[in-house]
Amino acid sequence: MGSWLPLIGGAAAGAFLTLLGTLYSGYLSRRHEHRRWLLDKRLQAYTEFLAVMAEWEVLYRRVRLKHIDDSDMAEVRDLSKRLAASVRALRLLAPQNISNRATRTESDARVLLVAATKESDEREGGKERPFPDKYHELWEHVDVLINTQQQDLGAGQRSRRNRGMRGRLAW
């Protein structure tokens, strides 16, 4: 019986180590899957935020060009809600530096759009005035935000030459 004891002990140790390895492998797999899921959710949140900002730019330019009516104001309210929702998603999913910059961008966009809607009553239709400095600052923030998001996703930095005219997203 004594000669079997080391063999049984070795088999038990081998089984235990196999079980331990399986558990650890499962843990690593779940952790990797969770990170992948989180990365996918962040990508969705970043994409939604940038899509809403592209819509914001179109609406902002339209509001600056003409006298707005009730349907335009409904669109302004809807877009403001969607922008706020996309920023809330970033606050939940993105690193602090990205969520802070997105919050500031949303605030600046809201201020610009409110000012443009108030000015729409005071201007002649079809005549666009120069964009305020805050508009250009907003798109500088968006540019930095895009680069930061790409770094967060591991996609590298986007160069300035890949953008369209200043202040416009090049899709």
- Cα 89 to chain centroid, rounded: 8
Structure confidence by residue, pLDDT tens digits, 24-65: 888 888 888 988 999 999 999 999 999 999 999 998 888 887
> Over its length of 171 residues, how does the chain's per-residue pLDDT go in tens digits?
567 777 787 888 888 888 888 888 888 888 889 889 999 999 999 999 999 999 999 988 888 877 777 788 899 899 999 999 999 999 999 999 999 999 999 999 998 888 888 776 565 555 666 778 888 888 888 999 899 898 888 875 444 444 444 445 444
- Distance in angstroms between the alpha carbons of the first and the last residue of the chain: 77
Within a domain: 11: no
Mean pLDDT of the chain: 82
Q: Are 79 and 56 in contact (CB under 8 A)?
A: yes
Cβ atoms within 10 A of the Cβ of 88, count?
15
Within a domain: 150: yes
Within a domain: 67: yes
Residue 81 structural domain = 40-162
Within a domain: 57: yes
**How many independent structural domains does the chain possess?**
1
Within a domain: 35: no
